[in-house]
Chains A and B, each alone.
Chain A
Amino acid sequence: MSDVYRQPYQQAVITAEPRPHNWLVILDYIFYIALALAAVGFLYYIYIFRDYALLYAPFLLQAAGTTIMISLVSMVLATIFGFIGALGRLSRFTLLRSIATVYVEVVRGTPILVQLLLWGFGVATLLSNAGFDPYSIAFQVLTVFQENSLVSPQFTFLFYGMIGLSFNYGAYLTEVFRTGIESINKGQTEAALSLGLDSSQTMRRIVLPQALRITIPPFTNYFITLIQDSALLSVLGVIELEQTIGSFAYPQTNSNVKLFVFVFGALFYFLICYPLSLVARYLEARMARAY
């Protein structure tokens, strides 16, 4: 529109130099200095509270280990749940298909916190009334190995927390696996069947290896969110990273120290999740390319 008001020579200037050098670029150099100052400032912030940082770091590291362990175990269980769910959703039988659909829809429609509370306070109470107590079972098993002091008093909540996490993520992985399997061209299955492979061979040798490629990036992304959601286990009283951060931060009377403990704890989550998200992005870029 505005072309009408421009003289021809002005238009020529515009085409010759579509993006004129902006004086605001000078702020970039100021910004680098400011960024360096901010980084130094953050390090200095940690340095001011170095006594607290050094005091709490070993415990937080240990708790971070617990968080990683919980996440790994839950992810393995979630993969199993997701695989069963995907088989159910792709099943020929209407009953299995509808059970799997209800599982996915209900789990994805409700908050994970509510599910964890349901496992930890609802299902756990029911099952312990029926005579199933994970704590005493673990205690007895480890008594055989004379290691029963390793069983933490929160084992029941740890157990149901991990079950709840993996049940929740199993529903998300169901969809990941299902879309992965469905994305393989139907012609491949038909070709394999016509070459004489039976249906389980087709699944194992033809479909799954190709589907795996597609599912890896969302799988890693879900693993990162699972690590973050494992912080919700602190609500059940499981002693993992978030619970440890809280137990150090709440008793602080100095509000600046309190804030520092929270920031320092969040740093641990960042150090776990950020490298993983870089890996996830690399995998995504890798898988986007053809073979």
Chain B
Amino acid sequence: MDLIKVALPAFLTGAENTIIYCVSSFALALLFGLILALMNSSRFVWLKTPARIFIEAIRSTPIITQLFLLYYGVGAVLVNFNLAYLDNAWAAGIATLSLNYAAYEAEVYRAGFLSVEHGQTEAAHSLGLTQGQTFFRIVLPQAIPLMIPPFVNDFIYMLKDSAIVSVISGTEITSQLNFWLSRHYSNSLPLFALTIVLYLILSVPISYFARRYESRLRAAL
């Protein structure tokens, strides 16, 4: 119990950093994901294929491999280009998380767009709306409510996956766990309990509200 009291401030800072990692990475992932989804649904091969290759490559390799590749591999090369200031855990962590999740969000966007009936697009076209207008005024507003539950799910996954940043000492919850574990190796269970409780505090309310939203959405449809 004493150990928890001593370690709590550090772990709370860690939780704050976890939230910063996740919110910034998820915003970027949503943006990249939308771009990827639009490229992927394009009729031009020169837009479609790069997006497909990116998505498949990201989804077929572990996130920890991508993190090491970016942090140690690309980071070492960046130094050659006088970009050494980009070679830190924050940049590598956010880049990895956002690029990795962009590939998954792209699939969510795609499923969301497909869920809007094709007849609506045809109707909009026949009413004389351009393709851009059809997308932003007809398809997107209807698809967004359907995409929110999978997005929230992915955000919870990201909260958990952000723990991987600890392997490059990224100052979030699990990094604090590693730091304190090295000092209190024989008395480790309170530290694990604290970590698990912190992650549950972060993820359980979100998943509770997501479930409520989902059931209300089901009722509305």
Chain A contacts to B: CB under 8 angstroms: 1-3, 6, 11, 14-15, 18, 22, 24-25, 27-28, 30-32, 34-35, 105-106, 109-114, 117-118, 121-122, 125-126, 224, 227-232, 234-235, 242, 245-246, 249-250, 255-256, 258-259, 261-263, 265-266, 269-270, 273-274, 277
Contact = CB atoms under 8 A, between A and B. Distances in A.
Interface stretch (B33-41, B158-166, B212-220): B158-166
B68 A258 contact: no
Interface stretch (B4-12, B89-97, B144-152, B198-206): B198-206
A249 B63 CA distance: 17
Given A2-B129, A11-B128, A117-B192, A231 B64 contact: yes
A242 B128 contact: no
Contact of A113 (B46, B159, B164, B200): B164
Interface residues of B, number: 54
Contacts of A269: 60-62, 65
Interface in B45-65: 45-46, 49, 56-57, 59-65
Contact of B128 (A3, A122, A277): A3
Given A35-B49, A255-B80, A258-B73, A110 B160 contact: yes
Given A3-B127, A270-B61, A118 B73 contact: no
Interface SS, A side: helix
Interface of B: 43-46, 49, 56-57, 59-66, 68-69, 72-74, 76-77, 79-80, 125-130, 159-164, 166-167, 174, 177-178, 181, 185-186, 188-189, 192, 195-196, 199-200, 203-204, 207
A109 B167 contact: no
B167 A235 contact: yes
Contacts of B63: 228
A255 B77 contact: yes
Given A113-B164, A117-B192, A228-B62, 8 more contacts: A1-B129, A114-B174, A114-B195, A125-B186, A126-B189, A242-B65, A255-B80, A259-B69
Contacts of B64: 231-232, 234, 242
A246 B46 CA distance: 35
Contacts of A263: 69, 73
Contact of B66 (A11, A234, A235, A266): A266
Contacts of A32: 45
Contacts of A273: 59-61
Given A228-B61, A270-B57, A273-B60, A111 B160 contact: yes
Given A14-B128, A31-B45, A255 B65 contact: no
B164 A232 contact: yes
A250 B46 contact: no
